[in-house]
């Protein structure tokens, strides 16, 4: 890819994307620029891990960039755009990975017709396993969308969605890895309570989660069918799932996704 990319924000999500891009080799380390609000120590940390260009000076970062990725918290977006907009040129492409915030609002903050593409990745980008949804703002062309797909494809899979669906995407795949980690934490606790050492417990659980993910991807069978194949009549799985049902697991997870999606809607209301 013959572009320079500037990250505005150097937190968990920016790092996950940087890690994935560096691993993919699609960009050289000179093509990746990173800035944050003021945390020099964090920039030094990113520099030491990935050897990318970490620069506090916003003007320098924006001047160099073809693509600017907004990766601050929603409530810091306004200040961060304020600090870069005087340096932004109209042809510079802007990507945002910020939950809840619309491309229209970003366009209004920039005060110019820069193409804006919204993306919702997740932290599995770190190892090239993000599921990233992408949607175009009103000034973004198909070509801009293709550029976004090209970039985000280096850190996992991509799907183009309507911008209105981004809230739901955030509740499912943006936050999703955290739900799985929570499940793992609970399984680990149960294993430890049963007397397992942490290492053995985590080896068993991690491979179980990994195997289930791969089965969903590769077997061509639905989650329901795969689950059925494990659930012998009057067997152990059935006993476990009866307990999940007793505590309304399905409803809990559905409500969990809805709460996260609703929170994304709320974040957008602060625009």
Ligand X SMILES: NC(=O)C1=CN([C@@H]2O[C@H](COP(=O)(O)OP(=O)(O)OC[C@H]3O[C@@H](n4cnc5c(N)ncnc54)[C@H](OP(=O)(O)O)[C@@H]3O)[C@@H](O)[C@H]2O)C=CC1
Ligand Y SMILES: O=C(O)[C@@H]1CCC=N1
Q: Which residues are annotated as a binding site?
A: 8-13, 71-74
- Looking at 22-30, 35-43, 190-198, 252-260, which segment touches ligand X (CB under 6 A)? 35-43
126 binds ligand X (CB under 6 A): no
The separation between CA 128 and the C-alpha centre of its own chain, rounded to angstroms, equals 11
C-alpha pair distances (Å), 221 with each of 208, 227, 233: 17, 10, 20
69 binds ligand X (CB under 6 A): no
Q: Under the phi-then-psi rule, with left for phi > 0, alpha for psi from -120 to 50, and beta for the rest, what region is 78?
A: alpha
Q: How far is the CB of 68 from ligand Y (least distance, A)?
A: 19
> Residue of minimal CB distance from ligand X?
11
**CB closer to ligand X out of 161 and 241:** 161
Q: How far is the CB of 54 from ligand X (least distance, A)?
A: 11
Question: What is the binding site for ligand Y (CB under 6 A)?
Answer: 99, 170, 174-175
> Residue of minimal CB distance from ligand Y?
174
CA–CA separation, 133 and 151 (whole Å)? 12
Q: How far is the CB of 115 from ligand Y (least distance, A)?
A: 23
Q: How far is the CB of 12 from ligand X (least distance, A)?
A: 4
C-alpha pair distances (Å), 63 with each of 17, 40, 54: 21, 20, 14
73 binds ligand X (CB under 6 A): yes
Using H for helix, E for strand and C for coil, what is the string for 34-70?
Answer: EECCCCHHHHHHHHHHHCCEECCCHHHHHHHCCEEEE
**CB closer to ligand X out of 9 and 201:** 9
**CB closer to ligand Y out of 102 and 114:** 102
């Amino acid at each position: 890819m013959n572009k320079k990319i500037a990250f505005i924000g150097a937190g968990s999500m920016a790092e996950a994307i940087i890690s994935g891009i560096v691993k993919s080799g699609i960009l050289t380390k000179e093509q990746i620029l990173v800035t944050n609000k003021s945390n020099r120590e964090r920039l030094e940390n990113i520099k030491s891990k990935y050897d990318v260009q970490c620069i506090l000076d916003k003007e320098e970062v924006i001047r160099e960039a073809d693509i600017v990725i907004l990766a601050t918290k929603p409530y810091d977006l306004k200040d961060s755009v304020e600090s870069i907009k005087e340096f932004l040129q109209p042809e510079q492409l802007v990507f945002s990975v910020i939950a809840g915030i619309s491309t229209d609002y970003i366009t209004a903050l920039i005060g110019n017709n820069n193409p804006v593409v919204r993306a919702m990745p997740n932290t599995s980008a770190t190892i090239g396993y993000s599921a990233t949804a992408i949607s175009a703002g009103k000034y973004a062309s198909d070509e801009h969308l293709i550029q976004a797909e090209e970039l985000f494809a280096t850190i996992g899979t991509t799907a183009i969605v309507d911008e209105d669906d981004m809230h739901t995407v955030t509740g499912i795949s943006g936050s999703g890895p955290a739900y799985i980690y929570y499940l793992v934490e609970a399984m680990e606790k149960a294993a430890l309570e049963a007397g397992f050492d942490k290492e053995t417990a985590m080896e068993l659980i991690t491979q179980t989660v990994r195997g289930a993910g791969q089965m969903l991807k590769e077997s061509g069978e639905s989650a329901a069918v795969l689950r059925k194949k494990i659930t012998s009549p009057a067997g152990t799985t059935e006993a476990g799932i009866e307990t999940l049902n007793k505590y309304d697991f399905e409803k809990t997870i559905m409500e969990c996704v809805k709460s996260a999606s609703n929170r994304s809607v709320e974040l957008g209301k602060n625009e």
